[in-house]
Amino acid sequence: MMKIQTIKVGVYRTNCYLVIDNDHVIIIDPGSRATKILTEIEGLSVDAILLTHGHLDHIGAVDEIVKVKHCPVYCHIYDKEMLTDPLLNCSKNNNIIATSKVIAIDEGRLVIGNYVIDVFHTPGHTNGSVIYQIQDCLFTGDTLFKNSVGRTDLPTGSAKQLKQSLQLIVTLDDNLKVYPGHEELTTIKTELVNNPFLNKT
């Protein structure tokens, strides 16, 4: 049975998610604290690292984990350049980059081990932002938060694109559990009622 563990990492309290199925795990957005993450997954096989987008607070532990676990890294093709560019990933003061080999993805379905993952391209926060659906769980990165949405004033952000992405989200199953990049968990059903940004789409 699949279980999800949340580790809050870094000064931005980014939600790093461990999606665990038996002795396998997929890591979503390892923003920092690689040692902590590696301790939590000791003895597990890492099938993949999935990135919702390329900002510094979502990529900071990628290289350290790959060095130990030799796992593939998936990122949308439009944010691939961001991983190695501190100006684009907003880390120009401390140069946080991820240089591991990246598998560039677009919308569609990924099958990684026993995991079936639906990928939705949701530009707005960044041009290559994506959300991942695994079973009844939706990992929304910085596209959708509880009662809010991601900012659009950073490199490659677009308020117009975010609005279009939210129009996609409202068509999804409202029973989906939402695991955002920051703050608390929620559901699509709850956000349709309480999130003013969804109400305006």
pLDDT of residue 1: 85
Question: Coil, strand or helix: which one is 5?
Answer: strand
Whether the Cβ atoms of residue 119 and residue 165 lie closer than 8 Å to each other? no
pLDDT per residue of the chain (201 residues) written in tens, 0 to 9: 899 999 999 999 999 999 999 999 999 999 999 999 999 999 999 999 999 999 999 999 999 999 999 999 999 999 999 999 999 999 998 999 999 999 999 999 999 999 999 999 999 999 999 999 999 999 999 999 999 999 999 999 999 999 999 999 999 999 999 999 999 999 999 999 999 999 754
pLDDT at 71: 98
Angstrom distance (rounded) from CA 140 to CA 196 = 17
Q: What is the CA radius of gyration of the chain?
A: 16
CATH number of the structural domain 3-199: 3.60.15.10
Dihedral Cα 189, 20, 30, 146, nearest 10 deg: 10
pLDDT of residue 156: 98
pLDDT score of 49:
98
User: What is d(CA 34, CA 160) in angstroms, rounded to the nearest whole number?
Assistant: 35
pLDDT at 200: 55
Cα 102 to Cα 99: distance, rounded to the nearest angstrom: 8
The mean predicted confidence, pLDDT, of the chain is 97
Count of all residues that appear for the chain in the document: 201
125 with 88: CB under 8 angstroms?
no
**Sign of the CA dihedral running 66, 49, 106, 192:** negative
- pTM here? 0.97
Instruction: Specify the pLDDT at position 116.
Output: 98
Q: What share of the chain is helix, strand, coil (3-state, %, to 5)?
A: 25, 35, 45
Q: Do the Cβ atoms of 7 and 34 come closer than 8 Å? A: no
